[in-house]
Amino acid sequence: MTRFKKLHCVTCILMIFFAGCWNKQDHHVTRPDIPFYSFSGKITDWDSDSTLAGVKVVLTAAVLVYDVDSVFFRGVSDSLGNFLITPVYPGKYFLHFERDGYPIGDRNFQVDYSDINRDYRVPKIYLTSRLRLDDMVYSGKPMAIHNTTCWFFSTDIIQFKYENSKWVVEKYLPNILKDKNIKACTIIGNNFYVTQAPDSIIVLNRFDGSRAGGYAVSANLTGLAYDKAGERLFSCSRTAIFRHDVTIGGFAETWTPPVVQLEALAWKEGLYSYDNSEQVLKRYDNNMNVIATYALIDSKTGRQIEKLTDMDFDAYGNLWISGY
């Protein structure tokens, strides 16, 4: 018992001694400094290169190297289009912009151990609608609109009528191309013109779905559009836009815009194309020069539509899409 008391006393003395030494040296625990950097640049309009004020630049952290409290990092372009976000930390992010209150893009972005300065072109906003029936989205298949009637190519050809601000099914037509690789459709007179990969345009009667003709083409077409006033048929492959001689079936003119993945065409007082690679809608003048570039925004959800299969305008000038 005596030996235990002595050991206990020695332990207490040592504890008091070391505690006093610690206090005298004023020790404190600090975390190492976390390196941080800045992300800056200039925002301009996609087409005109004029600077844009009030565009929000948003970084959303995906994987950060260091443990920080923030997930979102934001900046806004000033009157000269310049923006600055600081601090930003090393790691991987998603980057998007907000123009006129709508989000555009969601691209990968990485911050290494240095400041970043990059300029960006931001497209205009174009509100559009997915083809819906009672909140069911029809997507991934060709479609065509004539005035206020729409045809959607699925297992059957579904005919819709636009009434009271919604699409209502009118009837079903047999789809003799249901097992074929069809990409796009447009209407000329009483017929559907439908692209069938890899090298054909098939003509179907739009009242009963029966075959009414067709011809071979020398490209794998992904989009079709018809200029009724000018009696011109346009098509596109992934990398080129064509104007057809409908009676002969060949290409009368060819344009190769600087894009990667053309997916769809539509006509409304001019030709429109959609590029799935850049995720933008482009409008052309009569000389096939791009005069406006848009991000497509779903008018119901307010979110950007990134990929689509086909698109067309109704009689009121509204753009409808078959998209993902």
What is the tens place of the pLDDT at every residue in 214-241? 988 888 999 999 999 988 999 999 999 9
Read off the pLDDT band of 252 (50, 70, 90): confident
Q: Which of 323, 320, 317 is nearest to 305 (CA)?
A: 323
Q: What is the DSSP letter of 5?
A: H
Q: Would you put residue 140 in left (φ > 0), alpha (ψ -120 to 50) or beta?
A: left
Looking only at the bridges linking them, the beta strands covering 116-117 and 290-298 are: unpaired
Model pTM above 0.95? no
Distance separating alpha carbons of residues 153 and 194, to the nearest angstrom: 10
DSSP 108-138: EEEE-SS-EE--EEEPEEEEEEE-EETTEEP
CA–CA gap between residue 148 and residue 160 (Å, rounded): 8
What domains can be seen in the chain, in order of their start residue? 37-117 (2.60.40.10), 126-323 (2.130.10.10)
The dihedral formed by the CA atoms of 10, 13, 17 and 22, expressed in degrees to the nearest 10: 90
Per residue in 83-116, pLDDT (tens digit) is: 999 999 999 999 999 999 999 988 999 999 999 9
Query: In this structure, which amino acid lies at residue 90?
Result: P
Sequence letter at residue 31: R
Higher pLDDT, 6 or 116: 116
